Amino acid sequence: MIAPYNNIMEQILVIGSVALDTIMSPAGYSKEILGGSAVYFSISASFFAPVNLVATVGMDFPEKHKKTIESFGVDLEGLEVKEGKTFRWEGSYVKDLNCAETIDTQLNVFAEFKPCLPKGYEKSKYIFLANIDPDLQIYILKKFSGKRFIGCDSMNHWIKNKRESLKNMIKKTSIIFLNDSEAKMLSGESNILKAGKYLLSLGPRFAVVKRGEYGAIIFSKDFTFMAPAYLLEDVKDPTGAGDTFAGGFMGYLAKTDKINEKNMRNALIWGSVMASFTVQDFSVNRFLKITRKDINKRYKEFNSLISLKG
Amino acid sequence: MIAPYNNIMEQILVIGSVALDTIMSPAGYSKEILGGSAVYFSISASFFAPVNLVATVGMDFPEKHKKTIESFGVDLEGLEVKEGKTFRWEGSYVKDLNCAETIDTQLNVFAEFKPCLPKGYEKSKYIFLANIDPDLQIYILKKFSGKRFIGCDSMNHWIKNKRESLKNMIKKTSIIFLNDSEAKMLSGESNILKAGKYLLSLGPRFAVVKRGEYGAIIFSKDFTFMAPAYLLEDVKDPTGAGDTFAGGFMGYLAKTDKINEKNMRNALIWGSVMASFTVQDFSVNRFLKITRKDINKRYKEFNSLISLKG
């Protein structure tokens, strides 16, 4: 299960949530399964480079879930266990497989999350600030000096309620990942090309707009690249697809450790490939059943699907 | 304005509608402008190969519109002028630029359209049956013998009311073009990959599913290829995008006159390129202002947008 990478590779740090999700989808009902942005991101990225995870859970967090994350080689020294209950989210895809309907959110210990970096984590060159309070994202960034490649995510809640903090945070990052409705909301543009340009105007070098089953677009000063999403017959649970995408994207960059146009284009494809696996099963279950070989095979199939030369 | 092709090229025949459209969009209001599936298709295809048009209009059809179509070198001997009024359609994109809301439809002379092929038209090797009654589409196909490459389109109305005729017609064609909601409706599948496989099971060699601003997918027994749509800041009027797409697609095939995987993949891109021009202005106005050079330039830009190599 443990992903094949060597020890001299650049490390990735993710700060986000570890959650217990309850999911209803046309494929069934799954109660209190392993979820959270940091989980999806780290397991996806673990196939490319070593990952350090910073998050918080309650005393009720099952040991088996911890073991699942660790089985991918993800370092959990930064997973703080606090008095209280783990963050819980309940969502349904019964009406629309492309759009989660939130049924219940219980922040629990996640409400007072104050990220704490274990010694050694500050060496991580690639950092992903998953969707948390932008003030916390800024707080974390202050702990780092020197050259880093920083990715971030956010959501409509922060766009609405903490717009200035969010813009201030985005300015300090290398790449922002947003889905199309968030990009449109933040920019005030209904056109995705205008929205992408707006995101770049906030300061990051790259902006990625995720379009769910329709793929993703990366914007930069020098180039724009877009790809559709991999075609699947069996979508069971789209939860975590965006974080899995970001994990594959950032993981591939950490593996190559070279930020250039070719690698950024490829990173988008690797992100799409990883996301295509996640949605095929509940939680991170699909990743428990695949190897690097399966990932490489799908990368090739995906290339044939989108390449003019076949 | 006349497109550059030589006389030995294979000819294309389109049977469809010529209409007067009244369009409301966020970009403005345009009354009784030139529209119709055969118009969009033929003007788009005219940039690649000679096109013969079969359709019907009323006595009120403005001479200037006829001249506009002819300025692209489209042969209008098959445009029958009948006692009565021209087909009129009124639609609005004010609520959603991606989805037309029909305000009014007046079939007029189009209600009794019985396609008549002028002498010489039967030589056309590439035939496009635009969205008309599937029984009429079958009636036309009976007039042809020998090897032809036949494309067809349809719509929800025929899927609902003439399903068996439609399936019978699709069986006789080489390629079917449907938008995603139509493909899902006809197949009864909510998954686009399953819908694509269903379309192929009806008999055509290729099936193209159009996804509007999200691009298109071509399915075949041997390969699947998908591309996003070209990114535009200035979408004024999406009317005719699908027929323009089919025109570029079939036009390119007629130009190369070779049905193989490489050409089919490229045809999808040329179709997308042509559609990207149409939506930038009302009616076919954008095509009045561009040359083959502009089209080639956008093809290159589009390739760079979707290619892993840039």
Dump pLDDT digits (tens) for A268-283. 999 999 999 999 999 9
| A38-47: average pLDDT | 98
Which of B191, B265, B303 minimises the CB distance to A233?
A: B191
CB B96 within 8 A of CB B213: no
How does DSSP assign B86-137, residue by residue?
Answer: --EEEEE-SS-TTSPEEEEEE-GGGGG----PPTTGGG-SEEEE-SS-HHHH
Residue A146 has pLDDT above 90, yes or no: no
Whether pLDDT at A254 is above 50: yes
Strand B19-25's sheet: what is its strand order?
B28-35, B19-25, B88-92, B101-106
**Class of residue B182 by CB neighbours under 10 A (exposed 0-12, middle 13-18, buried 19+):** buried
Q: Kindly state the percentage of chain B with pLDDT values over 70.
A: 97
Cβ-nearest to A265 among B191, B266, B308:
B308
CA B291 vs CA A147, B230, B251, B297, B307: distances in Å: 48, 18, 16, 10, 24
Q: What is the pTM of this model?
A: 0.94
Kindly state the average pLDDT of the residues B44-56: 98
For residue B53, pLDDT beyond 70:
yes
For residue B304, the distance in angstroms to the closest alpha carbon of chain A comes to 7
Contact B226, A306 (CB under 8 A): yes
β-pairing, A28-35 with A19-25? antiparallel
- How many other CB atoms are there within 10 angstroms of residue A161's CB atom? 11
Q: Which residues of B114-145 are buried (b: 16+ CB within 10 A; e: fewer)?
A: ebebeeebeebbbbbbbbbbbebbbebbeebe
Question: What was the pLDDT predicted at B101?
Answer: 94
What does residue A122 show for φ and ψ, rounded to 5 degrees?
-65, -15
How large a percentage of chain B has pLDDT more than 90? Answer: 95
Question: How far is A133 from A17, CA to CA, in rounded Å?
Answer: 11
For residue range B5-37, what is the model confidence (pLDDT) as tens digits? 545 689 999 999 999 999 999 999 999 999 999
Region B82-101: what's the mean pLDDT?
A: 94
pLDDT surpassing 70 at residue B4: no
CA distance A268 to A299: 11
CB-nearest partner of B231 from A226, A227, A310: A226
Interface contact flag, A310 B262, Cβ < 8 Å:
yes
Q: Which neighbouring-strand residues pair with A202?
A: none
- Regarding beta strands A88-92 and A19-25, do their DSSP bridges make them parallel or antiparallel, or are they unpaired? parallel
Query: Percent of chain A having pLDDT more than 90?
Result: 95
For residue B257, give the 3-state DSSP assignment: coil
CA–CA separation, A301 and A214 (whole Å): 17
Q: How many CB atoms lie within 10 A of CB A292?
A: 12
- B110-145 pLDDT, tens digit each: 999 999 999 999 999 999 999 999 999 999 999 998
What integer pLDDT is reported at residue A5 of this predicted model?
55
Q: What is the pLDDT of residue B302?
A: 97
The closest CB to that of B233, out of A194, A217, A307, belongs to A194
The pLDDT of residue A2 is 47
Is the pLDDT reported for residue A291 higher than 60?
yes
B98 touches chain A (CB under 8 A): no
Question: Which amino acid, residue B107?
Answer: L
Residue that is written with structure tokens 């007039």 in the block: B143
User: How buried is B104 (Cβ within 10 angstroms: 0-12 exposed, 13-18 middle, 19+ buried)?
Assistant: exposed
What's the DSSP call for residue A238?
-
Q: CA of A111 to nearest chain B CA: how many angstroms apart? A: 38
The Cα–Cα gap between A21 and A86 comes to 10
How far away is chain B from the Cα of A106, in angstroms, using its nearest Cα? 32
**Contact call for A228 and B235, based on CB within 8 A:** no
Question: B210: pLDDT confidence band, cut at 50, 70 and 90?
Answer: very high
Rounded to whole angstroms, how far apart are CA atoms B99 and B90? 13
> Which whole number is the average pLDDT over A61-75?
98
Q: Average pLDDT over chain A, rounded to whole?
A: 95
- By DSSP bridging, strand B206-210 and strand B216-220 are antiparallel
Interface of B with A in 192-221 (CB under 8 A): 192-194, 211, 214-215, 217
Mean pLDDT over residues B46-55, rounded? 98
pLDDT at B98 (0 to 100): 85
Asked if A223's CB is within 8 angstroms of B217's CB, the reply is no
The C-alpha atoms of residue A249 and residue B189 are separated, in whole angstroms, by: 31
Amino acid type, B136: L
